[in-house]
Chains A and B, each alone.
Chain A
Amino acid sequence: MKILVVDDEEDVQPLFLQRFRKEIRNNEVELDFAHSGEEALEYLKEKHSEVVLILSDINMPGMSGIELLGHIREDFPTPPPPVVMMVTAYGDEENYKQAMEKGANDFLTKPLDFNLLKEKLKTISE
């Protein structure tokens, strides 16, 4: 299962790689990273058919996670559309509402609970 993680914080990458160490070794999960909404869209142009899940931060300089979500839903409607989970430090109503309106599948708050995330992954892969 290919997962794209979008976050402007660079250290998100080693963190995810280690948290999913076992899963990666067992070839259950494959992780790719983008540091901005723009980069994510560029990446998706080529690989949108492979990516099953997109985990995106909302608050990023430039294109916000919500905008990225809008683009994903517009540009890549081909079935099956990727599952998009929004991640944010601001677990507030307004963000949640916006994300859900734009078609997010789930809404997670930072700090990420990786065990919970893994549970959710299982339900997606089943």
Chain B
Amino acid sequence: MHFFPFLAAFLLALRLNKAIKFTALRAKWRWPLWGIAALAIGGFILCDDNFEDRVSCIIAAAYLLGTIEYLKRQDDFKSFSILLTAHLPLVAAALINGLAELFVKNFYNNYGSFFVSAEVAAFVWIFIRVATSKKQQQVIKRISERKDELEAMVAARTAELTNQRNALEETVKELKATQAQLIQQEKLASLGELTAGIAHEIQNPLNFVNNFSEVSMELIDEMEAEIAKGDMEEANAIAADIKQNLEKIRHHGKRADGIVKGMLQHSRASSNVKEPTNLNTIADEYFRLAYHGLRAKDKSFNAELVSNFDEHLPLVNMVSQDVGRVLLNMFTNAFYAVHQKQKTIGGDFKPKVEVSTRKIPAPPSGGRGASVEVIVRDNGTGIPDAIKDKIMQPFFTTKPAGEGTGLGLSLSYDIIVKAHKGTININSKEGEGSEFIITLPVS
């Protein structure tokens, strides 16, 4: 029975052709598949006419096997391997049929119907196999659809999370920029407080520069007159004076120079380089600047300035412009507090702001080295207990809107405690005054 293998090959070619009808494979495989189908018909007719059934069976089986093996080796038909494999039993049945007919003729004649039944069964098997595999494929398709669905959901969720993360990163970046801006603003605000004080501090040395140069010109006129008179002794005395004046001019010029440099340093971004610094000098400088700054704003303000500097204070390793800002902030606060009290009480109240420095030797138990202490004390309004916990918080201020940034003490805390490993302690009694104690390790 060579009919079934040829029919199977023919149907296989048709089925594959149908399966690839709407795919890219069509162009490549359309004609080869038609060829396989045509060869199957041709083969069947040829065998039917020329050969005995036993030879035809083997030819048909070989043709089917060849077709299957050929197609199996094609990558394009990988997904049809179940279908292709399903034909193998038919190949085997036809082959056995042909061989039996060829070599055991009697046996075949007696039991030929079994061989035909086997071939029919193998042929039917192809269709059963294809039907079940179709079902399987449907299940697989459903699963893969579900998988795609889930993957799409995961992708959507991932995109959402990525967006959120990007948005958060953007926000953090903005916050950092804002923080930097605020710190700069606080610096500018304190520079504003300083400006008036600086103007006053520069005015003094400038007055001396002008006065000494003016008087020196007069002296030169006088000296010339003395030389003309022949009084060389007096002329020499005047010359000595002039020389002294030029030194004074230089001294005061340098003084103004130092103040301007200090001002520039204050407004510049901190260099963060710690250097051994004389804390007394810095405290003294900012003490006066803060006072004159406030005075320039409000002429009616007056306060007694007391400074008790420890002359044997060791140099402290610090970023001087940062610590200077802290001190300026403390002084400005102190003057503000006494000024507020003066405005409410008036009359006999004598505003007083005091700055003291002292060395604290290293404790004998060891562990820590020596440190220095700066105390800024005022007899102003004091800090109410209710807000004592809050004054170090950023943006907390008791000043009217627009007057304070609320960052002064918070930045001071960062500079002293975080950057210099020091401490800030506050003693205050409402109505009596405040005391800020800054401690800095010497090295």
Contacts and interface: CB of A to CB of B under 8 A. Distances in A.
Interface stretch (A13-21, A27-35, A43-51, A76-84): A13-21
Interface string B244-255: 110010011000
Contacts of B414: none
A121 interface: no
Contacts of A18: 215, 219, 241, 245
B393 interface: no
Contacts of B241: 14, 18, 21
Contacts of A15: 208, 211-212, 215, 248
Interface stretch (B82-90, B299-307, B378-386): B299-307
A90 B245 CA distance: 26
A94 to B, nearest CB: 5
Contacts of B252: 11
Contact of A110 (B203, B248, B296): B203
Interface string A1-19: 0000000010100110011
Interface string B220-246: 001000000000000000000100110
B245 A95 contact: no
Contact of B248 (A14, A89, A114): A14
A24 interface: no
A11 B248 contact: yes
Nearest to B287: A61
A14 B245 contact: yes
A92 interface: yes
Contact of A111 (B207, B305, B307): B207
Contacts of B251: 11
B185 interface: no
Contacts of A89: 200, 203-204
Interface string A94-124: 1100000000000000111010000000000
B39 to A, nearest CB: 118
B207 A14 contact: no
A21 B241 CA distance: 11
B429 interface: no
B295 interface: yes
A93 interface: yes
A90 B299 contact: yes
A21 B212 contact: no
B302 A64 contact: yes
Contacts of A21: 219, 222, 241
Most chain B CB neighbours (cut-off 10 Å) among A89, A112, A114: A89
Contacts of B305: 61
B200 A112 contact: no
Contacts of B245: 14, 18
B212 A94 contact: no
Interface in B170-214: 200, 203-204, 206-208, 210-212
B436 to A, nearest CB: 21
Contact of B215 (A19, A64, A92, A111): A19
11 contacts: A11-B208, A18-B219, A62-B304, A64-B302, A89-B203, A89-B204, A90-B295, A95-B299, A111-B210, A112-B211, A114-B211
Given A19-B215, A21-B219, A110-B204, 15 more contacts: A9-B204, A11-B248, A14-B244, A15-B208, A15-B211, A18-B245, A21-B241, A22-B222, A61-B305, A89-B200, A89-B203, A90-B295, A94-B300, A110-B203, A111-B211
